[in-house]
A = this chain, B = another copy of it.
């Protein structure tokens, strides 16, 4: 099987970065050869989460067709939010929680969308269905993504599945998700304001 790249949308938020890392980890366990990459640098909030859980930021790419023929999308499906040369690539897998818009394929594919608050909530289910354990640091990042997308389970897009996922992931990561979540959201806000002032 040829190598595939896995990535979230442009101007990545924490879910776009983390879901790529988590889905790539899962797919590699299932026998695929994938690498998680990103379509931009992690923002301040995501940097805080990566540092807290001691995980590297994914490599940033401008295009994918120079490296691979096929890709997996997470946290988006709209081509205008995706890699610049998407039209030249085969999308084999999608995990997403957004509406479907202008997404067309030439061939059948694996596509899992759920109307929940975060892609990482869906990916937790995929790990469980496949009986694959989530390393503690990755669980901490997935927790961070759900906290980010749902504003600590307060946003109107939050579902019972997100609440359940936060509790399960917090246990695996061994963190108090409310304390950690406030720190993470604050880190994003602080640094964003600071960067605005500079």
Please, what's the 1-or-0 string for A101-141, where 1 marks a CB less than 8 Å from any CB in chain B?
11111111111111110000000000001000000000000
B-binding segment of A30-38, A51-59, A92-100:
A92-100
Bound form: Cα–Cα A149–B101 in Å? 28
State whether A110 and B105 are in contact (beta carbons under 8 Å apart), knowing that A100-B100, A129-B129 are contacts in the complex.
Answer: no
Question: Inside 8 A of A113's CB, which chain B residues have their CB?
Answer: 108-112
Q: Find out whether the CB atom of A97 lies under 8 angstroms from the CB atom of B102.
A: no
Number of copies: 2
Q: Find out whether the CB atom of A99 lies under 8 angstroms from the CB atom of B110.
A: no
Chain A interface bracket (under 10, 10 to 19, 20 to 34, 35 or more)? 20 to 34
Q: Of all chain B residues, which has the CB nearest A113?
A: B111
Q: Find out whether the CB atom of B100 lies under 8 angstroms from the CB atom of A109.
A: yes
Question: Inside 8 A of A104's CB, which chain B residues have their CB?
Answer: 99-102
Bound form: Cα–Cα A114–B93 in Å? 9
Give residues in A with beta carbon < 8 Å to B.
92, 97-116, 129
Question: Given A99-B104, A109-B113, list of 6 further CB < 8 A pairs?
Answer: A97-B108, A98-B108, A100-B100, A100-B105, A100-B109, A108-B114
